[in-house]
Structure 1
Amino acid sequence: MPDIGDWLASIRLEQYRQTFLKNGIDLDVVDELTDADLKELGLSLGDRKRFLRAAATLARQSPPPTAALRPSVSPSHSEAERRQLTVMFCDLVGSTALSARLDPEDLRQSIVAYRACATEIVGRYDGFVAKYMGDGVLVYFGYPQAHEEDAERAVRAGLAVVEAVDRLDAAGEHLAVRIGIATGLVVVGDIIGTGEAEECSVVGETPNLAARLQELAGSGTVVIAEATRALLRGQFKLESIGLRPIKGFSGAAEAFRVLGEVRGDDRFEAGHATVLPLVGRDRELALLVDRWTQAKANKGQVVLLEGEAGIGKSRLAVAL
């Protein structure tokens, strides 16, 4: 950011540079100066008007002071909304035993490094760190920004976190995480709390299921729910761990351990065996075919295909 002298020059008031410097005025306080303050500093009426107008513009353009410190903070919402959300719950393995072996300062530094590592990777896949809970990290994929492949992003992020944390050094101690991932319909509400207690209110069973699946995961593994598996379209190698009773949920549920990613140039190529028949899109497909026919006849066409994530836009394009 420019200093006060550069900014004054940009609004053609550089003649007051020394006056502002002499009075200890910098850019962090320009939006607090009043007309009376400027008059006392010796600015003419016209220059005071120019200054106040430029200061108001600067205030609108500048981020709040905490923006750089809280990159994962979501914009607040005035109303709750229904969302298809994929939730990832990440937990540090053996943290209690670790706390007994490490000096508190070393333990703190290890947890900070683990959190920073997980947060950086989650951000890389456009996930949202909703809350830190001791050595646990709660992450949303699909909020505040939804993507068609949020379930895939979550699983890729989970595998990357496992690998990255495995390489961390905690005062000579080996760190490992276990991760649970679940997908389902939730109601996303307002940002509640402030500071370290700040979190986005999410109502639904999906976060609880993700936390329970994390408990089923072994050290350095990722376990996902059936609903998440159904959205992966064959992109990952999975191993069923069978039907398991989930505390707080009625009946047993099947869960899957993620063994790795299936490589392929086309994301539908790997999952072609699980792609379901196209249903209820005859009109849309006929329109696309008609536009393609016109394009082949040298009549240029443009078609915009838009809609909520997960409704089958890519599937329709594959059908074409």
Structure 2
Amino acid sequence: MDIEEWLRSLGLQQYGTAFRENNVEAEVLLRLTAEDLKDIGVSSVGHRRKLLEAIAELRESSSAILAEGGKALTQVAELASAPASPTGAERRQLTVMFADLVGSTAISARVDPEEMSEIIRGYQNCCAGEITRFEGHIAKFMGDGVLAYFGWPRAHEDDAERAVRAGLAVASSVAQLRAPEGKPLACRVGIATGLVVVGELVGDKEARERAVVGETPTLASRLQDLARPGSVVVAESTRHLLGDLFELEDLGPQVLKGFETALKAFSVRGEGRAESRFEAFHTGALTKLIGREQELALLLERWSRAEDGEGQVILLSGEPGIGKSRIVRALREHLANESYIPLSNYCSPYHTNSALYPVVGLLERAAQFDRDDTPR
């Protein structure tokens, strides 16, 4: 069984050396515990959980095959641990993130190589944890650089948004790390979106990787050079996919090495003030609502009852993209001349661990809090 290929399929290839140095082979892998993973050097709780779940799947697969008179355990592990990544090259729209640790050369000149190794390991674990949390794919660790893909091997409709949220999370998490002298670390993040050819396996043994052909990774790297320590810079191609989800600072046309013309770049200051995803992506005039007269009439009729003192609750449900938010917008347009106070709460899959996030968002909008406000 190729342990490193299995780790790569999970997006945890940074632990390949630790598994190899601790002689973790197929038979040993299936018996690893959380304590074993700690001893190996997997300090991230999220990474340990991900590894334990994957190991549990291997155990289930091996048990099923052996019950049918299957083959030896090592052969079962090989079959069960086949990487999830596509085997052939394919054309994809990809959002690429490149993160780089600020001042790593200067730090390495001041500290012992073993200390520097610990710093880099902590930085890489920090980046890997945030990137995988947003379902990005870590393509390569290059010392103090991290290359990640959003949109391959698994694509989402919001890969650009996921990349930016991951970039902000990486910048915030790295700032919590400390150099030996106590100073906080910082990283720069560049993000670009474009068409690439991705997935072809190149190299041999430890040098194997999934190649990406196209200018997008290079653009992400160049944008990272523009970023201030602790900040994220995105390409115009990525900015078009974000709507008003984030507050962006236009850096204007930038002359970048390797590109013939100046390209626009944007610095991400944080989340935007849009009330909802619908509002973030529909800032202009909307087309006329067609075919929803019955649903709109029902909502208006319930509004009339509420005005007469009869409390009303309406559940508007349906498949994603069917037009629920558009109907609510139409209702509010019909009530534009009415006197009422709208209270809107919105959940987010990116804030499932944030208690009362919808209520906090409502209060921030109502009180017009700004992220730069001071406590006084």
Task: Give the TM-score category using the shorter length.
Answer: 0.5 to 0.7
Distance 1:195 1:167, change over 3 A: farther
Conservation of the 8 A alpha-carbon contact between 1:76 and 1:191 = no
Aligned to 2:221: 211
1:77 alignment partner AA: P
Query: Deviations 1:148-181 (Å, cap 9, x if unpaired)?
Result: 1110000000000000000012323431100100
Instruction: Give the AA of the match of 2:245.
Output: Q
Question: What is the rounded CA distance, in whole Å, between the counterparts of 1:157 and 1:169 in structure 2?
Answer: 20
Q: Tell me the residue number matched to 2:187.
A: 177
2:244 aligns to what SS in structure 1?
coil
CA change 1:51–1:316 in 2 (3 A) is closer
Structural mapping, 1:71-82, within 5 Å: 75-82=84-91
Q: Which moved more, 1:51-60 or 1:177-186?
A: 51-60
Q: Would you say 1:28 and 2:27 are equivalent positions?
A: yes
User: In structure 2, do the counterparts of structure 1 residues 102 and 150 end up closer, same or farther at CA, with 3 Å as the change threshold?
Assistant: same
Shift of 1:272: 2.7
Counterpart of 1:148 in structure 2 is 157
Equivalent pairs, count: 247
Identify if the C-alpha distance between structure 1 residues 96 and 59 changes in structure 2 by more than 3 Å, giving closer, same or farther.
Answer: closer
- Alignment deviations for residues 247-304 of structure 1 (CA, whole Å, 9 cap, x no partner): 11121111000000125562122343158769xxx9xx86xx69989xx9xxxxxx99
Q: Secondary structure at the match of 1:56?
A: coil
Q: TM-score, normalised by structure 1?
A: 0.67
Residues 122 and 256 of structure 1: is their aligned pair in 2 closer, same or farther, counting only changes over 3 Å? same
**Identity of matched residues, %:** 49
Question: Which SS does the other structure have where 2:100 is aligned?
Answer: strand
Aligned twin of 2:33: none
Question: SS where residue 219 of structure 1 aligns?
Answer: coil
Partners of 2:254 and 2:97 in 1: CA distance: 19
The whole-number CA distance in structure 2 between the counterparts of 1:164 and 1:275 is: 39
Asked if residue 114 in structure 1 is aligned to residue 129 in structure 2, the reply is: no
SS across alignment from 1:228: helix
- Paired with 1:183 and 1:51, the residues of 2 have a C-alpha distance of 45
1:56 to 71, 96, 100: 71
The letter for the 1-side match of 2:143 is: G
Q: Write the distance in 1 (CA, Å) between the matches of 2:284 and 2:147.
A: 30
Aligned residue type for 2:321: S
One-letter amino acid of the counterpart of residue 147, structure 2: L
User: What TM-score, normalized by structure 2, do the two folds share?
Assistant: 0.58
Label 1:175 to 1:203 Cα distance change in 2 as closer, same or farther (>3 A): same
Could you tell me which residue of structure 2 aligns to residue 193 of structure 1? Answer: 203
* Aligned partner of 1:238 among 241, 248, 257: 248
User: What is the RMSD of the two structures over their aligned residues, measured on CA atoms?
Assistant: 3.5
**Relative to total residues, which structure has the larger strand share, 1 or 2?**
1
Q: Describe the shift of the 1:173–1:187 C-alpha distance in structure 2 as closer, same or farther (beyond 3 A).
A: same
Quickly say closer, same or farther: Cα 1:272–1:76, change in 2 above 3 A.
closer
Specify the SS of the correspondent of 1:255. Answer: strand
CA apart distance, 1:61: 5.8
Residue of structure 1 in register with 2:102 after alignment: 93
CA deviations over 1:106-158 (Å, ceiling 9, x no partner): 00000000000000100000000001112100000000111111100000000
What CA distance in whole angstroms lies between the structure 1 residues aligned with 2:217 and 2:285?
28
State how far apart, in whole Å, the 2-side matches of 1:170 and 1:196 are.
29
**Unaligned stretches of 5+ residues in structure 2:** 1-25, 29-64, 300-316, 328-376
The DSSP-based 3-state class of the residue aligned with 2:280 is coil
For residues 273 and 211 of structure 1, the distance between their equivalents in structure 2, rounded to whole angstroms, comes to 31
What does residue 139 of structure 2 align with? Answer: 130
Return the letter of the residue paired with 1:54: G
Structure 2 match to 1:268? 278
Is the CA contact (8 Å cut-off) linking 2:27 and 2:74 kept in structure 1? no
User: 1:195 deviation in Å?
Assistant: 5.3
The answer as to whether partners of 1:131 and 1:198 remain within 8 angstroms in 2 is no
Judged with a 3 Å threshold, the aligned counterparts in structure 2 of structure 1 residues 268 and 134 are, in CA distance, closer, same or farther, namely: same
| Counterpart for residue 238 of structure 2 | 228
**What is aligned with 1:256?**
266
Report the secondary structure of 1:314's partner residue: coil
CA distance in 1, matches of 2:153, 2:235: 22
Partner secondary structure for residue 83 of structure 1: strand
The answer to whether the 8 Å contact 2:244/2:281 transfers is: yes
SS at 1:123 equivalent: helix
Asked if 1:168 corresponds to 2:177, the answer is yes
Aligned-residue offset at 1:104: 0.5
CA distance in 2, matches of 1:118, 1:213: 18
CA contact (8 A) 2:192 2:238 kept: yes
